[in-house]
Amino acid sequence: MKIAVVGATGMVGQVMLKSLEERNFPVSELIPVASEKSVGKKIVFKGKEYDVVSMQSAIGKKPEIALFSAGGGTSLEWAPKFAEVGTFVIDNSSAWRMDPDKKLVVPEINAEVLREQDKIIANPNCSTIQLVMVLNPLHQKYKLKRVVVSTYQSVTGTGKAALDQLNAEIAGNENAAKVYPYQIFKNALPQCDVFDENDYTKEELKLMRESKKIMNDYSFEITATAVRVPVQGGHSESVNIEFENDFDLDEVRKMLSEAPGVTVADDVKNKIYPMPLYSEGKDDVFVGRIRRDFSQPKTLNCWIVADNLRKGAATNTVQIAEYLVKNFGLE
């Protein structure tokens, strides 16, 4: 089982390698791939050193699966070339997500849509993944009518340079290189990604569009505001959910606690609720502050937190790869 990790030296690529190792994924040969300037660097995986190679070298090795986390432009150029030699590409960028011919997959929700001919598979946006992990089981029971989500997103969602900016500002370095248009330390920026249609950011549009595609349901409405906060451990979301049918709070908590990959942390008497500080390094999606919205009927409030580099990116990608191995004879 030859596995290529494209973007192996980046933040998500490093977590992908960690996830492959932790989940004991059946890798016989690792092919770490990065930009030309990183070719020849060493990557350690399961105690063994591997040389970082170029895209062309990796394609020549014809890996069974390639995990991509190297940006949309790289993916648009190179994913089809891997697919041409028979490699399954699981791409973590936004390049293919809304392509009508590509599947957008969260394994706990819709892995069954995958077919052997799906050589390029899209991994959803980090904030979308944690949202739909909670929305989907509730939708099956109560039917979504409208969702309002406000996000509080970690700087790690932007990458290493953003984390460097935050740490430099914490250290008092006023001349630090800036990834964001403003200081992020002691601040909150109501802008994740660039502004696009109707003054929404691309991040907000991803939440709104990808959720419907993953759940294969366009009957409900969804709106979003995405905010960058000076946090490292994970993304948080305040979510208001209006249903077609009424619900029982105890039943909601029970359903979510039984949903694969979801952990309910909801005991306000003991001040137990999800926080990015405690989600960091974990694969589950955490949900708490579950309560009825008394301003209108059939409406629920909740708070969702997940490590955006784990379930929001690397772990979900590896889970898709595990599904391919199990169902398409790659063992």
Catalytic residue IDs: 126, 235
DSSP 146-157: EEEEEEEE-GGG
What b/e sequence results for 200-224 when a residue is b if at least 16 CB atoms lie within 10 Å of its CB, and e otherwise?
Answer: bbbbbbbbbbbbbbbbeeeebebeb
Say which DSSP state 125 is in.
P
Q: Which residues contact 318 (CB under 8 A, 6 or more apart)?
A: 16, 19, 20, 23, 25, 67
171 CB neighbour count, 10 Å cutoff: 9
**203 touches 192 (CB < 8 A):** yes
What does the angle CA 263 – CA 267 – CA 271 come to, to the nearest 5 degrees?
110
| Token pair for 123 | 């991994």
| Rounded distance between C-alpha atoms, residue 244 and residue 328, angstroms | 38
> Nearest-CA neighbor of 4 among 44, 52, 46, 75?
52
